[in-house]
Amino acid sequence: MEYTVFVDESGTEGLDLNCRGNSRLFVLCAILIPTSRLADIRSQFETVCMRHRGQAKELKYQNVKRSYPKLRQLISEISEIDFITRFLVVDKPDAIKKLRDDKRKPVNFLKTLHRLLYEDIEEICPNLSIMCDQVKSGTTMLELKGYIDSIMETTLFRRFEFQFVQSEQEPGIQISDILSGVYREYLAYGSETEHGQEMRSWLSPRIDGKRDYPYQSKRLVVDTSEIGSTEYDLMIDHYAIELAESYLEGNQYDQDTNYKACVLFVHKLIDAYQQSEKKWVYLSDLRKSYALAFGKNITEQQYRSEVIGSLRDEGLLVVSKSTGGYKLPTCYRDMIEYINTNNKSLVKMVERIDKARRGILAATVNQLDILDNEEYIRLREFVDTLENSSLSSVR
């Protein structure tokens, strides 16, 4: 499927924040429309623009931002139209540091941003026709077009076209100008203010994807190197042992193979704990014990799922480390290391699902949400929570 993309920006390009008039934030907004539906969507854009531009030649955010009721109505009408958005948000203090620290040959700031935006879009829409607002000098536009054409060239597997157009002649550019302006103003006010929260409520339905520059990798683990003894260590120790002993008491006579395997594992954990609270039981030894007890082998994946996973589902506290060791937690640090391990895997899995979801939404112009099933309610809430948290700040 081929998409036509309208791109406009909000904020200034200058990186000298001491220079009067330069904005701290810079936002690029791309509106994606299936080319097969371009005439219909463009007509709807034009109707909205004509209704709200007044006596001006074109609809501009600078001209409508002063009237909140009108701006709210404008965003509401835009949200009724079927299209996809992608935003690239630049927090200049971080961008300046990134450019200063980058040891590679520097690339023009504006070129870098456009490249990142189009590469992000290309992941889900390989065939693109880009229309960008013609507001730069002739030399700047030629250089930018030459750069983008050189790195996003048409091949046998994708079609790419890039051109500048006059915004007053293209309603898609005008709508992009509105959305980029509202988004930048929301970020400038911040989600903690009443004004920012109101703008976020308007804009959230129209944000289908966002990328920060520079990318701020989120820490997924807590540094445990400086975690010492805490007042809760003894409580955690006693609670973990109590759960393990309670499980043995309730299941030690069960003849089901799975329960017998779980009981054997819990005995191993308690034996290791009694020898030393820092002693780990390793998966290779556990599998050998399983083979001796039941006369058959078990794979690592089966053991993790059928034995360790089953016990965790029962509520037992079993901590693990990347080398395949297991033990009962005896302190706060043990629990944090366990959560660290799971948090990295969990967040990455959810991010993969979110990426697939956004791709299908883009391909179907927001018509098909693969998480829109009753069975996925909790997963969808989790994915939406991660997305919403990423909208709350440029960092």
pLDDT single digits (tens) 145-180: 999 999 898 887 888 999 999 999 999 999 999 999
Is 365's pLDDT higher than 90?
A: no
| pLDDT confidence of residue 117 | 93
| pLDDT confidence of residue 387 | 66
- Name residues whose C-beta falls within 8 Å of residue 209's C-beta, 6 or more positions apart in sequence: 84, 85, 86, 87, 120, 358, 362
**CATH of span 233-330:** 1.10.10
pLDDT digits (tens, 9 = 90+) for 294-311: 999 999 999 999 999 999
CA dist., res. 71 & res. 49, Å (int):
12
Could you tell me the strand order of the sheet in which 2-10 lies? 160-165, 127-133, 2-10, 25-34, 84-91, 210-213
| pLDDT confidence of residue 106 | 58
Q: How confident is the model at residue 388 (pLDDT cuts 50, 70, 90)?
A: low
CA dist., res. 64 & res. 69, Å (int):
10
Write the secondary structure of 192-222 as one string of H (helix), E (strand) and C (coil): CCHHHHHHHHHHHHHCCCEEEECCCCCCCCC
Among 101-110, 115-124, 271-280, 369-378, where is mean pLDDT lowest? 101-110
Is 211's pLDDT higher than 70?
A: yes
Q: How confident is the model at residue 128 (pLDDT cuts 50, 70, 90)?
A: very high
Identify the CATH assignment for 2-216 out of 3.30.930.10, 3.30.360.10, 3.90.230.10, 3.30.420.10.
3.30.420.10
Is 394's pLDDT higher than 70?
A: no
> Is there a common fold for 2-216 and 233-330?
no
Q: How confident is the model at residue 104 (pLDDT cuts 50, 70, 90)?
A: low
> Which phi-psi region, left, alpha or beta, contains residue 54 (left: φ > 0; alpha: ψ -120 to 50)?
left
Residues of the chain with pLDDT > 90, as a percent, come to 57
**Domain extents in the chain:** 2-216, 233-330
- Cis check for the bond before 106: say yes or no (omega within 30 of 0): no
At 92, give phi and psi (nearest 5°): -60, -40
| Nearest C-alpha neighbor of 294 from the set 261, 266, 247 | 261
| Nearest C-alpha neighbor of 42 from the set 30, 31, 52, 53 | 31
pLDDT digits (tens, 9 = 90+) for 327-363: 999 999 999 988 888 888 888 898 889 888 888 888 8
pTM: 0.73
CA dist., res. 28 & res. 361, Å (int):
21
CA dist., res. 47 & res. 74, Å (int):
11
Q: Give Cα 204 to chain centroid, integer Å.
A: 15
